Amino acid sequence: MTRPPEDLPAKPETHATKKRSRWQLASPDATAVDSLAKSANLPELIARLMVTRGVMTQQAAVTFLAPDVTQLHSPFLMLGMERAVERIFAAIQAGETILVYGDYDVDGTTAIVLLKTALDRIIQRLGSKASVQYHVPHRVREGYGMQSEVVANAFGNGVSLVISVDTGIREHAVADAARKLGLDLIVTDHHLPEEGLLPDALAVLNPNQPGCEYPCKWLCGAGVAFKLAQALLIRAEEDAKSLVKVLASFMKMLAIATIADSVPLADENRVIASVGLRELRQPVQPGLRSLMALAELDPSRRFTATDVAFRLAPRINAAGRMDDAREVVEMFLTRDAGRAKEIATKLHRLNDERRAAEAEALRAIEIRLAEDATLTDARCMVLDGEGWHRGVIGILASRVVERTGLPALVIAHEDGVAHGSGRSVHGFALLDALTAAHEVDGKLFTRFGGHAAAAGFTLPSELVPELKRRIADYAAQHMTDEMMAAEIGCDAELPLDRITPALATWLSRFEPFGAGNHEPVFIARRVRIAGEPRILKERHLRMKLQQGPRGAMYNALGWGMAERVAAQQLTADAMVDIAYKIRENTHPEFGGLELELVDVQI
């Protein structure tokens, strides 16, 4: 059984997790399952899992099981792409100075690296005198989003074209300021635009803008920047063989951003994540090699989305959360192995500092949750505190959601200004909630933005009580009991004696797992606990489970489930129902198939 990822918290038995979970068993169309099994020559269970994920035809099954670069959509399907490419090539040919304006998180910094690398490649190939600069905002000094002052300073220093990545879709004032200066602006973003409003830019690339028919609406910010890079490389007449190789190499960075941003790993994102994880086993940049070594990722073995989400991404994010994210871009762009290792080591240290700051604030939040049961009555939790590090409030919001099953806003106060970040649950659109709260009188937030699952905002600290009241009113109307229910999605009933190495191999082909392609969860009923359950490190549950006429027996581990032993009276020979995932332990002496418990009911 593999150890838990270092940034994956154990979930204590509090609030939502104390309630008996409801298992929701998928019910795909039986005719569709049978048809796919026969046409694609698949086992019935595998066909069932595919149909549940929307894979209905033989060709779709082939594509799903073997993602590759050739399955990428044409970037020219994206609205605004032709105009953006035309202007960028004009800038390159004229020897202009281009500024790539990003964000301070994983998505924004990797987007800068991808686009600058593509631009520099084309500039060198064409023998142009053009140059590419980049700007990464400082979380504390500048805050989220683009700033008109930065754009004006860039213009004063000779920049004639600004390309935003992972930001800009709501920056109307910045776009207006650029236009007045005579500075061209191309916005590439994936965040939701304001209804009916787009920035007045030369071109806007965003698959979520009105009128854009690009097939994959779930690209992260780096994904949109990558599509621009892909279009530029195609227009630069990169030969087909070389283009495939270059795009595949770009997917190392893009997979990190795609997984870290928790966008659905479906359609084009599945290709990006799958190819990128394969390419990560052959890191070329010294910065990436150093960071992977510090994260204890061994290129000799297969990487998973979990490795990226909980080992690589937090170290990259740590710079923007705790210090200056500009060094992330430098680390990935430099060819100086010594400098790359120096920055990677700093990111590793900053990540330790981030975890300490997070743990301190989380302890205060957990005390508040334990002492004030009325906090959950609002149906959307709003927690604020003095001294909480602004760089970890997004993570804290995620932790609160994990612990309570409710949407959460976490706010840090600094010098009379409240900086907030929110995370949500399925069905409750967080950006809609903030928009509704603001539109009561238009005077609540200084700025806000995001999407359904996550959002950020600032407002005067004195208005936080009013924010709490408005959010509570909105959630009372829109946060339903169904959204609050502790529901576990399960794919199929699978008795333990039907688990085989062949099945495990099939399941591995469903990777990478994440939003939009969850790891299969199975149900086994009337399973016997063979021997007394064991508690590991006071938090985790380990036991042997046995079922079936042949007495199939497996080791099972439940992360953070230690309290279940007493609460549910789990004892030797007790019969339980389990929801579980199949794991493979690769230890040379006691490896083999094992179970990871998702839930236990007695």
Mean pLDDT of 400-408: 89
Distance CA 201, CA 185 (A): 5
Same domain, 319 and 386: no
Same domain, 441 and 462: yes
Q: Which residue matches tokens 């549910």?
A: 568
Residues of the chain above pLDDT 90, percent = 75
Helix (H, G, I), strand (E, B) or coil at 100: strand
User: Going by C-beta distance under 8 Å and a sequence separation of 6 or more, which residues neighbour residue 473?
Assistant: none
Residue 83: pLDDT over 80: yes
Distance CA 579, CA 543 (A): 14
Same domain, 342 and 468: no
Q: Find the range with the poorest average confidence among 138-142, 452-456, 521-525.
A: 138-142
Task: Establish if 140 belongs to a structural domain.
Answer: yes
Mean pLDDT of 123-149: 90
pLDDT confidence bin for 387, thresholds 50/70/90: confident
Which residue type occupies 171? E
Q: Pairing relation of β-strands 592-601 and 540-547?
A: unpaired
CA distances for 21 relative to 26, 133, 405, angstroms: 16, 52, 11
Same domain, 455 and 511: no
Distance CA 107, CA 261 (A): 7
Q: What is the rounded average pLDDT for all residues in the chain?
A: 91
Same domain, 173 and 210: yes
User: Going by C-beta distance under 8 Å and a sequence separation of 6 or more, which residues neighbour residue 214?
Assistant: 73, 77, 78, 79, 207
Within 10 A of 309 (CB to CB), how many other CB atoms are there? 21
Task: Establish if 43 belongs to a structural domain.
Answer: no
Task: Establish if 3 belongs to a structural domain.
Answer: no
Task: Among 371, 394, 429, identify where a domain stops.
Answer: 371
Tokens of 19: 């309630």
Task: Establish if 52 belongs to a structural domain.
Answer: no
Instruction: Give yes or no for a cis peptide into 512 (omega within 30° of 0).
Output: yes
CA neighbor of 264 nearest in space, from 512, 58, 24 = 512
Task: Among 434, 466, 484, identify where a domain stops.
Answer: 484
Most distant CA atoms of the chain, gap in Å? 79
pLDDT in tens, 327-380: 999 999 999 999 999 999 999 999 999 889 889 999 999 999 888 877 767 799
Residue 8: pLDDT over 70: no
Contact at 8 Å (CB) between 528 and 505? no
Contact at 8 Å (CB) between 231 and 163? no
What is the pLDDT at residue 158? 96
CA neighbor of 232 nearest in space, from 117, 112, 109, 113 = 117
R_g over Cα of the chain: 25
What is the pLDDT at residue 554? 95
Start-to-end Cα distance in the chain: 24
Residue 590: pLDDT over 80: no
Residue 428: pLDDT over 90: yes
Distance CA 135, CA 174 (A): 15
Same domain, 246 and 174: yes
What is the pLDDT at residue 157? 96
Same domain, 146 and 166: yes
Distance CA 213, CA 343 (A): 41
- Residue 557 is given by DSSP the state E
What is the pLDDT at residue 11? 45
Task: Establish if 441 belongs to a structural domain.
Answer: yes
Q: Which residues pair with 580 in a beta bridge?
A: 522, 597
Same domain, 400 and 360: no
Q: Which residue matches tokens 């090539």?
A: 89
Tokens of 118: 């593509």
Contact at 8 Å (CB) between 299 and 283? yes
Task: Establish if 67 belongs to a structural domain.
Answer: no
Residue 591: pLDDT over 80: no
Same domain, 231 and 357: no
Same domain, 271 and 363: no
CATH code for position 466: 3.10.310.30
Distance CA 594, CA 527 (A): 15
Our measurement of the distance from residue 114's CA atom to the centroid of its chain's CA atoms, rounded to an integer in Å, reads 18
DSSP result, 367-431:
HHHHH-GGGGGGSSEEEEEET--GGGHHHHHHHHHHHHSS-EEEEEEETTEEEEEEE--TT--HH
Mean pLDDT of 307-313: 92
CA neighbor of 598 nearest in space, from 542, 521, 515, 511 = 521
pLDDT in tens, 314-341: 999 888 888 889 999 999 999 999 999 9
CATH code for position 249: 3.90.1640.30
C-alpha torsion sign, points 153, 159, 160, 161: negative
What is the pLDDT at residue 240? 81
pLDDT confidence bin for 16, thresholds 50/70/90: very low
pLDDT confidence bin for 464, thresholds 50/70/90: very high
Task: Establish if 150 belongs to a structural domain.
Answer: yes
CA neighbor of 203 nearest in space, from 329, 75, 108 = 75
What is the pLDDT at residue 402? 84
Mean pLDDT of 572-600: 89
Same domain, 365 and 394: no
CA neighbor of 460 nearest in space, from 524, 415, 416 = 416
What is the pLDDT at residue 30? 96
Q: What's the structural domain count of the chain? A: 4
pLDDT in tens, 520-564: 999 999 999 999 999 998 889 999 999 988 888 999 999 989 989
Contact at 8 Å (CB) between 532 and 569? no
Distance CA 526, CA 578 (A): 8
What is the pLDDT at residue 1? 44
C-alpha torsion sign, points 125, 187, 408, 140: positive
Q: Which domain holds residue 508?
A: 15-35+491-601
Residue 278: pLDDT over 60: yes
DSSP result, 567-590:
HTT--TT-EEEEEEEEEEE--TTT
Tokens of 498: 């039907």
Distance CA 248, CA 554 (A): 39
Q: Which residue matches tokens 């090699």?
A: 289
pLDDT in tens, 203-239: 999 999 999 999 999 999 999 999 999 999 999 987 8
Same domain, 187 and 163: yes
Task: Establish if 64 belongs to a structural domain.
Answer: no
User: Going by C-beta distance under 8 Å and a sequence separation of 6 or more, which residues neighbour residue 101?
Assistant: 134, 135, 146, 150, 151, 162, 163, 164, 165, 167, 168
Distance CA 430, CA 427 (A): 9
Our measurement of the distance from residue 445's CA atom to the centroid of its chain's CA atoms, rounded to an integer in Å, reads 26
Task: Among 247, 279, 311, identify where a domain stops.
Answer: 279
Which residue type occupies 574? A
User: Going by C-beta distance under 8 Å and a sequence separation of 6 or more, which residues neighbour residue 179?
Assistant: 185, 200
Residue 7: pLDDT over 70: no
Contact at 8 Å (CB) between 203 and 187? yes
pLDDT confidence bin for 588, thresholds 50/70/90: low
Q: Model-level pTM?
A: 0.85
